[in-house]
Structure 1
Amino acid sequence: MAELQRFPKAVFSQGDEPDARFSLANERTFLAWIRTALALLAGGVALEALGLGIHPGYRLAASVLLILAGIMSAFQAWSGWTRTERALRRSSPLPSAPFSLPLTVLLVSVAVLVLVGIVLK
């Protein structure tokens, strides 16, 4: 019987099969990033849709940044999962999250925009 093709081949064609507990933990981290992405996207849409008495220009800017942060979180989910799975398969050190700093800057920017938007309403 032929071995099943696993996706993505760039990950599963390398190294040895790691302990399933580590792969499952990596998958849970991926899903946590996806949940975060969904929450950020929903927050951006809700902020603009509900208004909430925030200055319209600042509200729109904060909404766009939240949506961008949601998109970046989804990329972090995929990038983090693939890089970590490869590291596990190669028995090499685990990688850092490359989108952590940009996401932090985006979310601080959103907080400042919302705060200024509330003050200037």
Structure 2
Amino acid sequence: MISQDGGPPRGWRARVLGGGTEPDPRFTLANERTFLSWIRTSLALLAGGVAVEALTQQIFEPFVRTLLAVVLLVLGTLLAAGAFVRWLRIERSLRHSRPLPLPLIAPMLGLGAAIISVVLIIAIVQG
């Protein structure tokens, strides 16, 4: 991308995206769609955390209910932040023709789902 005066790119866009050349719009839009998918998942986790705390008083003990809600809320928050970082890292990689970075949020989401599953299994077996 060239600035209005024909020189190198300047401004917030160049600082955030790290310069480079404008990638094919299809790749940028695909990156954006993936970001939005992670955000939808994050919102679902946040809603799940609120729902667990608000609607499961008769199902789970207070400690289990709070633990599940907190894990869901923290996971949703980390996923939203991780989605932005992933979007930015991929956009920068596309602009500099570098290999795409490994997805760090996918293992985080898997680990969070495993923790929630273990807590639920223990609660069901003890209940």
User: TM-score normalised to the size of structure 2?
Assistant: 0.84
Number of the residue aligned with 1:45: 50
> What is the CA–CA distance in structure 2 between the aligned matches of 1:49 and 1:106, rounded to whole Å?
21
Number of the residue aligned with 1:97: 103
Instruction: Answer yes or no: is the 8 Å Cα contact 1:87–1:93 preserved in 2.
Output: yes
> What is the CA–CA distance in structure 1 between the aligned matches of 2:75 and 2:16, rounded to whole Å?
27
Number of the residue aligned with 2:125: 119
Q: Structure 1 residue 115: deviation in Å?
A: 2.2
Q: Which moved more, 1:20-29 or 1:56-65?
A: 56-65
CA offsets 1:49-104 (integer angstroms, 9 cap, x no match): 10151232112111100111101110121011000000000111111112322322
Number of the residue aligned with 2:23: 18
Q: Structure 1 residue 26: deviation in Å?
A: 0.2
The structure having more radius of gyration, on CA atoms, is 2
Number of the residue aligned with 1:77: 83
Task: Compute the RMSD of aligned alpha carbons.
Answer: 2.1
User: TM-score normalised to the size of structure 1?
Assistant: 0.87
> What is the CA–CA distance in structure 1 between the aligned matches of 2:35 and 2:86, rounded to whole Å?
7
Match of 1:86 among 92, 103, 122: 92
Q: Structure 1 residue 44: deviation in Å?
A: 0.7
How many residues are treated as equivalent by the alignment?
120
Instruction: Answer yes or no: is the 8 Å Cα contact 1:59–1:113 preserved in 2.
Output: no
Structure 1, unpaired ranges of 5+: none
> What is the CA–CA distance in structure 1 between the aligned matches of 2:55 and 2:125, rounded to whole Å?
17
Which amino acid in structure 1 is aligned with residue 109 of structure 2?
A: L
> What is the CA–CA distance in structure 1 between the aligned matches of 2:22 and 2:14, rounded to whole Å?
14
* Structure with higher RCO (Cα < 8 A, 6+ apart): 1
Sequence identity percentage: 43
